[in-house]
Homo-oligomer: A and B are copies of this chain.
Amino acid sequence: MILSDFLKTIVPFPQEEITGIVSHFKKETIKKNQNLVKEGQICNKLYFVEKGIGRSFYLKEDGKEVTQWFFIESKMMSSVESFFQQVPSLYYLQMLEDSVVHSIKRDDIDFLFAKYHNMEKFGRLLSTEMLTRVVNKLNALQFQTARERYDYMLTEFPDLSTRVPLGYIASYLGMSQETLSRIRRYDTNKQ
């Protein structure tokens, strides 16, 4: 889905506003495994993923990566708290495939928020939608077993398992790669 269509699915912008908004985005082509943001940097862009798939991940002291979120096609992507509070990011943002994204700078989106009431609404709806998703994951982590968390993942990101390494999904779900592998084996034996 292209950016302008995505915008319209959230708020029914009039065409001239769409044009004004889209003109502040910049198309970027990203190679597989390239980082958009590194830990410690202030993330000053919000991205729309047109093609490809991204993730945010945290690097633990022992060098292990913990995936925090996946960003699939037709979704916005950012290091949320870094972008909105302008503090150093705790996470890396990385594209996992050759990708096409559209980025907008913090200043530009603030300008648009102030200029268009509709844009402010867009920001609000986007935030609450993301909040709902994060709360769903929170529940999975807080009181579900590893098996149940895997089921949660299948509903939130159905086609993920064929596109990204197993270990990325395992850490996203707060379990080891070995455990996820065993769950999956059990699952396929069942059918």
User: A: which residues have CB within 8 A of B?
Assistant: 58, 60, 66, 68, 80-81, 84-85, 90, 113, 117, 120-121, 123-124, 127-128, 130-132, 134-135, 137-139, 141-143, 171-172, 174
Contact = CB atoms under 8 A, between A and B. Distances in A.
Closest 5 CB pairs of A and B: A127-B127, A124-B124, A120-B120, A141-B141, A142-B174
A117 B142 CA distance: 37
A139 to B, nearest CB: 7
Contacts of A143: 58, 60, 66, 171, 174
A135 B127 CA distance: 12
18 contacts: A60-B143, A66-B142, A80-B128, A80-B135, A81-B135, A85-B132, A90-B139, A117-B120, A120-B120, A123-B124, A130-B131, A134-B134, A134-B135, A138-B138, A141-B141, A142-B172, A142-B174, A143-B171
A127 B143 CA distance: 24
A78 to B, nearest CB: 11
A141 B135 CA distance: 12
Given A68-B142, A131-B131, 7 more contacts: A68-B135, A80-B131, A84-B128, A90-B139, A120-B124, A138-B141, A142-B174
Given A123-B124, A141-B138, A174-B141, A132 B81 contact: yes
Nearest to A123: B124
